[in-house]
Amino acid sequence: MSSAPYKVLFLCTGNSARSILAESILNHIGKGRFRAYSAGSHPAGRVNPLALEWLNQQMFPVDELRSKSWDEFAAPGAPRMDFVFTVCDKAAGEVCPVWPGQPMTAHWGIPDPAAVRGTDREVRHAMADAFRQLSRRISLFVSLPFDKLDAMAIKREIRAIGSLDDARAPAATSQSHS
């Protein structure tokens, strides 16, 4: 693995809610060990206002957040990623660019809060739920003992994190890291 900070790219189709939440969460709880980015295959061109509102309420960073294309991260001179996570099913099925440096990849699908149509309460609940699920997965990710795991073990762990059923998730991934 590369030296810290580890660079992590979260991908989604629109880059307006889930990947934006993930970028902010990791930059906040990663405490300088990680540098998160987000992008979309077909960016919406704006960040979902409710995602920004939610992050502000949680006192998470929002200043650098913007909806952008994943092409920015496949271009010459782009930061070399250590990890790339898809957080929506549509982007997981798309043909992704070739990422410089061959980062480790995993799918961490989360229901799209920006797609919820309903009452204000239902929409806000969906955003809170996406934030909670991403926070749990990212917390597990940052707690991995990267210095004690080989590449295959890290790949196994990041994929296990993505397959967690957050409603019934155990306290840790498949292995104990004591």
- DSSP of 54-66: HHHHTT---TT--
CA distances from 148 to 30, 104, 157 (A): 18, 17, 13
- 65-87 pLDDT, tens digit per residue, is 999 999 999 888 889 999 999 99
Domain presence at residue 83: yes
Specify the pLDDT at position 177.
40
Domains: count for the chain: 1
Domain presence at residue 15: yes
Interior CA angle at 114 toward 110 and 172, to 5°?
20
Domain span holding position 72: 6-162
pTM exceeds 0.75 for this model: yes
Domain presence at residue 97: yes
Domain presence at residue 17: yes
Q: Which residue matches tokens 């806000």?
A: 124
Domain presence at residue 172: no
Whole-angstrom distance, CA of residue 24 vs CA of residue 77: 23
Domain presence at residue 168: no
CA 136: distance to chain centroid?
A: 11
Domain presence at residue 49: yes
CATH code, 110: 3.40.50.2300
CA distances from 88 to 92, 109, 119, 122, 174 (A): 6, 5, 23, 20, 23
Domain presence at residue 1: no
Q: Which residue has the higher pLDDT, 142 or 31?
A: 142
Q: Provide the annotated active-site residues.
A: 12, 88, 96
